[in-house]
Amino acid sequence: MRRIWLLCLLLLSALPAASFASHHTNPILSIGIPPIGNFESNMNSHPESHAIAVGNEGFIYVGTNTGIKVYDGENWTFIATPNRKLVRSLTAGKDRRMYVGGYDSFGYIEPDTTGQLVFHDLSQEFTSLRTAGYADIWDLLVTEDAVYFKAVRDLFRYDINTGATSVWQFEGRFGAINAFDNQVYVQYRGLGLAHYRQGNFELVSEHSLWHEHIYDLVGLGEDGWLANTRSGQWLHVDNPYQPEQDNYLVPQLFNLDQLPSGDEFYDVAEVGPGQVALAHKEGSVFIFHWDTQNVERFPVSYNTILQLAGGFNNAIYALAEQDVVRIEWPSQWRIIGPQTGIRGRVHNIRNWHDRWFTLTSAGVFELISEPVPHFEKVSWTNHEAWDLMELNGDYALLADSYQIQQVSDDGLTPLTHATLYPRLFQESKFRENYTFVGTELGLAIWHPVHGLTLEWTEPGTLVNSIAQLDAQTLLLGTSHRGVIEVTLDESYSMVTRVHYVGEESGISYGLAREAILSQFDSQLVISTAKGLYNWENGTATPEGSGLWEALEAEQAVRIEGGVNNDYWAYSFNYLYHFNGGDPDLQKWQNVQFNGLLPGAITTLFVNDAYAQYVVLGSHSALVTLQPQATQQSFNTEPVRMNSIVKIKGDSAERLELNQNYNFESGRFALQFNFAMPNSSAVGETLYSARLEGYEDHFSEWNRSTRITYSNLSPGSYSFMVKALSPNGEITKTVPLNFTIQPPWYDNTWIRALAVLLIIAMLFLVVKYFIRRRTRLLALEKRRLKDMVEERTQDLANANKKLESMANVDGLTGIANRRRLDQFLGEAVHHCMSSGKPLSLLQIDVDHFKSYNDTNGHLAGDNVLKEVAHALQTTLRRQEDLVARFGGEEFTVVMPGASQEHALDVAEAMRQHVESTVSQITISVGVAVMQPENITAPEHAIQTVLERADKALYEAKESGRNRVC
C-alpha cells in the first residue's frame, strides 16, 4: 500500500475536498479529507474491475473480467471462475465464505483445510430450473437463511441451510434488491416493489415512483430507506415497517442542493446508522448524513468509482477502475494539504477577528470559507511569517523573517529595524502593553509607545519559549544554551542579571542543550532531551505526571492546552495526550499518526474554548484531530497463517493448517506464508517469526511474509509469527508444532549394537590368532559356559518376573497392595532412622460405581488405567510410590515429604486427572506422620492409613474433587 501522502499529493492537488451544509461553526473543521491509501495489484491479470467486497477475515475481494483477485493484506492472489468470464458482484457470507456473481455463473469462494481459496459453482444446482443465458449477476444479497443472485430478468434463490433452489423470471426486468430486518424486497420495473413471503415474491406497493429503474435501495436505520433512480431522482421511504399506516412503502421525492443527481453515482452503500456512502463517477466518494443533512465529499481517484464496500474496521473501500482505495472513516483526523492553498513549512496557526491564519515559510495564508473552504495568501509579507498576536480589536503584531510589523485593515506598518529576526510573541503578565519577543539571537521587548525598549543578543541563539516569574524576572528556553534566567530593570530597557541554569539546579541537558518551557497544571515545566522538570524557587525537580516515562524517545517536548485539564505534548515526530477531563484516562498516552503528516510536526494549536480539536502544522499541510469525534472501534485482525508448503525436489505439497505434523527425515523444505489482513490506510505492518528448536529468539521486525526452512535436523519444532500493526497492536499466530524423525539407523539401540559387533569381531580375531591350537577346546568350554550362563540368566529372569508379577497390579500396571504393604513398612523404618516425616495420600475415584453402571466395566477398567497413569506421571520424586489400594482406591507413599509438599502433589494429581481423564475426578486425603510420633512401626502404619482415610472421607463429604 502506498503511503498516504503519495496519494494525497498526487491526486488531491487537482481535486479540492469539500463538506457541504456543514454544521461546524469553525471553518477549519470543514476542510480536509480523512486518511486514505490505495492498494494496487501487480498481478498479470485483466486490469478492469467490476466489484469489491471485504470478507469477514479481512481479505479484500475484487471481481475482474476473468475471475476474482484477493488481497490478504500483503499479497494478491487470483481465482478464476469456471467459465473464465467477468465477475460483476461480490458479497460476504457467514464465516469465511464469499459469494460471487459472474457472467452465466455464480457460486462462492471458501478456503479448504490447507488455506487454499476454492471456487464452488452453485449455478450448476439450478440447471434443472434455468440454463445459462441469464448473463451478468448484477446484485447479490445474503440473508440469514438464503442467498439471492439477481440478473436482469432472472432472480435465483439458494437456501443456505437446505440447498433448496428457486428461480423467478420477469421480462420487464428487475431493479434494486435489498433486505431490511431480514425481509427481502426487490423492484419489478414497471410494476412496483415486491416482498418475499412464504416462498414467493408478492407486490406490496405499486406506486408510480417504484416503476422507474431503481439503481440502489439502502437503509437509513430508523429513518427509512433511500433510493436513486435512473433519471437521477432521489427517493425516500419514511415508513417501510408499519403496513397498517397509510404511508407504508410510499416513496417521496427527496432533494438536497448539496447532493448531486442520483444518476451520477455508480453505487450507494449504507456505512452506518443513517449514513450512506456514494461512489461518484468522477472519482469522489460522498458521505451523506441523514440526521444532519450534511454531505461530505472526498476526492479519492482520477478514475471512476465503481463500487463501495463499507463498514469494516473503520474503513470504506472504494473500487476504482485500476485500484482499490481505503478511506479511514469515520475518522478523528482530517488532512488539509497543499490542494487547499497552503504552501511552505507551517510555523504557527492563529485566530484573529474570527479569521484563521497559517503562518509559514512562504508567508501568511488565510482560510476563506466560500464557496469552498480554502487558503489564500495575504499580501502582508513575502518573507517567512512566524507569529501573529492581537493587540486590540483593530491591530495585530506580525513577526516576519526580519522585523515586527503592525497589521490592520489599512495595511502594514513596520515597527522595528529589519535585523531583529523575531520568532515569537508573549504578553507581559505584570506590565501592561509590554510584549516579550523571542528572536533568533536572544530577547527583545516592545511597547506600542516606546517601541523596542530592549534588544539583548548575548545568548546568540534562538529563544523558543518565555516564562515570566515576576515583574522583572524571566526564564528563557533556548535552542542551544539551555535555560537562561534574566533579571530586568524597572524600565525594561536593560538586563541587570544573567544566570545560565545548569546541572547545579537539577537540570540535565542533551548534547544540543535545547530547553523548552511550558505550563502544565499550573506548574512551569522545563523539557530537555534528558528529562522533564518542575521549576520552583530557582530549583528543578523531576516532573511527576508520567510524561517522561511515556516519551518514545529522549527529546525535548512542548506542552500546549490546559482547558479542562486537557493537555497535548509534541516533538517533531511524536504526539502525546493527557485527558485530564476523564478520571480513568488521566495519564499521558502516545497518539499514533503514522503517515498522516508529510514531514515533521512543526507546531500545534489547541482550541482555547473547549479543547474539542487540535491542529498540527507540518510542511504545506495541516492535520486536524477531534478527539471527541465519533470513532468506530478498530478490531485489529490477527496475523494469519495462509499456507504451509512442503517442498521436495520439484514438487510442492500444501499442508493442512492447524495440524501437528510428524515428518520423516530427508531433504525437504517447509515454507510458511502469512499476512495480517486489512492493514491500515497508513503505515506498514511488520512481522517477526521464530522456529523454536532452531532459533533462540524471534527475528527483528521486518516486511517479509514468507519464510522457508530447508533440511532441518531431526527434532521437535514450533513455528510462530507475530505482526505489529501500524497502530501499534501486536497479534500472533497459534504455534504450529511439528517433529522430524531421525533416520532408522540414527538411534541408541543401533549404535549400541554396532559397538557390540565391533567388539565381538575384535575379540574373535584376537582369539583366533592367540588360541588357534586350542580353538576346539575353547569353543567347547565356551559352549558349556554359555549354556550354564544362559540357564542361570533364564532362572534369574524368571525369578524377577515372578517377583514383579507378585508386586504389580495386573490391571493398572502400578504397585499392588502387597508391594504397598512392603514399601510402607520400609518407609516407616526409613523415617524413624532419618528423623523425617512420612506423608501418605489416600485417593478415591469419584462416583466410580455410577460410571461403571452407566458405561460398563470395560470402560471402568480403562478409567482406572488412565487414573493410575495420571497419578504416576504426576509424582515428582523417584523415592515416592503410587499403588493400587483396592477397587477404585489408590495410595501414594512419600517418605520424607513435608505436609506442604504432600498437599502440593495431591492438588497437582487432582488437577491432572481432571484435565486428562474425561468425566472423572478424584478426592484425596492427606496424612503426615512425624518421626517423633512413631513408637511402633506396625502401629504407625495403621495410624497414618486411618488418618489419610479420614481426610479422604472429609474430601468426599465436602463435595468431592478436592484435597483435604
Question: Which tens digits make up the pLDDT trace of 730-760?
Answer: 999 999 999 999 887 777 777 788 888 899 8
Q: What is the mean pLDDT of the chain?
A: 88
pLDDT at 665 over 90: no
Sign of CA dihedral 210, 212, 217, 220: negative
Residue 4 near residue 35 (C-beta atoms within 8 A): yes
Q: Is the pLDDT of residue 679 over 60?
A: no
pLDDT at position 3 is: 41
Beta carbons of 167 and 155 less than 8 angstroms apart: yes
CA-based radius of gyration for the chain: 41
| Residue 769 scores a pLDDT above 90 | no
Average pLDDT over residues 909-913: 94
CA distance 38 to 40: 6
Q: What angle do CA 751, 754, 756 make, to 5 degrees?
A: 110
Is-contact 71 52, C-beta < 8 A? no
Q: What pLDDT was estimated at residue 464?
A: 96
Note the pLDDT tens digit of each residue in 578-630. 987 777 777 899 988 777 888 899 999 987 665 578 898 999 899 998 877 66
Residue 353's pLDDT is: 84
Residue 99's φ and ψ, nearest 5 degrees, are -85, 145
Q: How far is CA 381 from the centre of its chain?
A: 48
* Measured distance CA(941)–CA(889) in Å, rounded: 17
Q: Residue 381: name the closest of 363, 365, 394 by CA.
A: 363
Q: Which cell is 526 given?
A: 522545563
For the ranges 201-215, 288-302, 593-607, 850-864, the lowest mean pLDDT is seen at: 593-607
Place of cell 524423525: 741
In the DSSP assignment, the letter for residue 847 is T
Q: pLDDT, tens digit, for every residue of 57-79?
A: 889 999 999 999 999 988 999 99
The grid cell for 582 is 476523564
The H or E element containing residue 451 is strand 451-456
Q: What is the amino acid identity at position 259?
A: L
Q: So what's the pLDDT on residue 329?
A: 85
What confidence category does residue 878 fall into, taking pLDDT thresholds of 50, 70 and 90?
confident
Question: How far apart (Å, rounded) are the C-alpha atoms in residues 147 and 156?
Answer: 8
61 Cα distance to chain centroid: 21
Q: For a pLDDT cut of 70, what percent of the chain falls above it?
A: 93
Which residues fall within 8 angstroms of residue 370, CB to CB, at 6 or more apart?
none
Query: Of the ranges 32-46, 78-92, 310-324, 473-487, which one carries the lowest mean pLDDT score?
Result: 32-46
* Assigned C-alpha cell, 360: 509559514
The per-residue pLDDT for 328 is: 87
User: In the structure grid, which three cell numbers stand for residue 625, read together?
Assistant: 484531530
Q: Please, what is the end-to-end C-alpha distance for the chain in angstroms? A: 62
Evaluate the CA torsion angle 846, 851, 857, 862 in order and state its sign.
Answer: negative
In sequence order, which residues have a C-beta less than 8 Å from that of residue 762 and are 6 or more positions away? none
Does residue 396 have a pLDDT over 80? yes
Model pLDDT, residue 273 = 86
Omega before residue 330 within 30° of 0, cis: yes
- Count other Cβ atoms within 10 Å, centred on residue 502: 13
DSSP E strands in 649-766: the ranges are 651-655, 661-663, 669-675, 686-692, 706-710, 715-724, 730-732, 736-740
Residues 892/876, Cβ–Cβ less than 8 Å: no
Give CA–CA dist 543/541, Å, rounded: 6
**4: confidence class by pLDDT, cuts 50, 70, 90:** very low
Average pLDDT over residues 649-664: 92
Burial of 69 (0-12, 13-18, 19+ CB in 10 A): buried
The sign of the CA dihedral 599, 603, 604, 607 is negative
The pLDDT value recorded for residue 803 is 64
Whether the per-residue pLDDT at 645 is higher than 80: the answer is: yes
> What is the pairing mode between strands 640-648 and 669-675?
antiparallel
909-919: average pLDDT = 92
Mean pLDDT, to the nearest integer, of 889-908? 93
Long-range contacts of 742-751 (CB under 8 A, 24+ apart): 742/665, 742/714, 743/665, 743/714, 746/665, 746/714
Average pLDDT over residues 170-198: 94
Tell me the C-alpha distance between 748 and 758, whole Å.
16
Give me the pLDDT at residue 798, please.
62
User: Rounded distance, CA 634 to CA 728, Å?
Assistant: 12
Stretch 849-868: mean pLDDT, rounded? 92
In this structure, of 65-74, 235-244, 364-373, 523-532, the range with the lowest mean pLDDT score is: 235-244
**C-beta separation of 841 from 872 below 8 A:** no
How far apart are the C-alpha atoms of 868 and 890, rounded to whole Å? 8
pLDDT tens digits along 923-948: 999 999 988 877 788 888 889 899 99
Query: At 425, phi and psi to the nearest 5?
Result: -115, 145
Percent of the chain at pLDDT > 90 equals 64
pLDDT band per the 50, 70, 90 thresholds, residue 494: very high
Instruction: Give the dihedral of Cα atoms 230, 234, 235, 238; nearest 10 deg.
Output: 160
Q: Which residues contact 692 (CB under 8 A, 6 or more apart)?
A: 717, 718, 719, 720, 735
pLDDT of residue 311 exceeding 70: no
What's the pLDDT at 630? Answer: 61
